[in-house]
Structure 1
Amino acid sequence: MIKRRLVGGILLLVLALFELLLFITYCVEYLDYSQLTDAVFMSKYLVFMIWSIVLGIIYIATCKRRPVKWQEVTLACITPALTLFTYSSLIAYLPAYNLFRLVLFFLIVFQCLGLPGKNGFKDYPYKDQGHDSQSQGHDSQSIDKLAKLKELLDSGAITQEEFDQEKEKIWK
Structure 2
Amino acid sequence: MKTLSTHIEGVIVAETTPVADRRGAFTRLFCQKELAAVLGTRQIVQINQSRTTQLGAVRGLHFQHAPHAEMKLVRCIRGKVWDVVVDLRAGSPTFLQWHAEVLSADNTRMMAIPEGCAHGFQVLETDSELLYLHTAFYTPTAEGGLRHDDPRVGISWLIPVTDMSERDRAHPLITEDFPGLIP
TM superposition score category, shorter chain reference: under 0.3
TM, length-normalised to structure 1: 0.21
TM, length-normalised to structure 2: 0.20
Higher normalized strand content (fraction of residues): 2
Q: Which has the larger radius of gyration?
A: 1
